[in-house]
């Protein structure tokens, strides 16, 4: 492999890792916030339903797990999309960032 090709590949992988790191950071922040909110706001409700209303508790459990999946993924895509658009307007969007926006 030539030096130029190797250099091109390493530049590409850095930008791919950068996009992944950005997505992971945004997601980590959101999922932590979600956990804190659920622990603070829903803890008494979950405790009470787990003891007295199992059917409601079962539905709440599934809803909380599914909800975070869809909601947080949507928010992550939204925030990363906004970041990529801002970089594009500044003329700084890399091919990896453009690919993220297309998804």
Partner 1 sequence: MDFPISGAHLSPLWLIAVGLVVGVLGGFFGVGGSFLAGPALYTLGLPMNLVVGTDLAHIMGKSVVAARKHRALGNVDLKLGLLMVGGTIAGVEAGAQVVQVLKRHNIADLVLGCTFTVILIALSAFMTWESISALLQRKLAQSGQIKIGSTVKDRIHFTGLIKKVRAWKLPPYVSFPASGISKVSLWAVLGVGLVGGFFSGLLGGGAGYIRMPSLVYVLGVPTHVAIGTDLFEVIISAGYGTVSHALKGNVDILIALVMHTGAAVGAQIGAAMTEHFHGPKLRLAFVPLPVLGAALLLYELFQKGLVKL
Burial of 76 (0-12, 13-18, 19+ CB in 10 A): buried
77 and 67 Cβ atoms separated by less than 8 Å: no
**Judged by CB under 8 A, which of 11, 54, 85, 88 binds partner 1?**
54
Does 43 interact with partner 1 (rule: CB under 8 A)?
yes
Phi, psi of 92 (to 5 degrees): -115, 10
Closer by beta carbon to partner 1, 87 or else 96 = 96
Residues lying near partner 1 in the complex (CB under 8 A): 16, 20, 23-24, 27-28, 31-32, 35, 38-39, 43, 46-47, 50, 54-55, 57-62, 64-66, 68-70, 72-73, 103
């Amino acid at each position: 492999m030539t030096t130029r090709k190797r250099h091109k590949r390493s530049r590409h992988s850095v930008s791919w890792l950068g996009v992944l790191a950005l997505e992971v950071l945004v997601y980590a922040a959101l999922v932590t916030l979600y956990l804190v909110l659920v622990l603070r706001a829903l803890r008494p409700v979950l405790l009470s339903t787990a003891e007295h209303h199992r059917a409601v508790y079962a539905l709440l459990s599934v809803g909380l797990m599914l909800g975070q999946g869809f909601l947080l993924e949507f928010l992550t895509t939204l925030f990363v999309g906004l970041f990529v658009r801002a970089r594009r307007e500044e003329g700084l969007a890399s091919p990896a960032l453009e690919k993220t926006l297309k998804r």
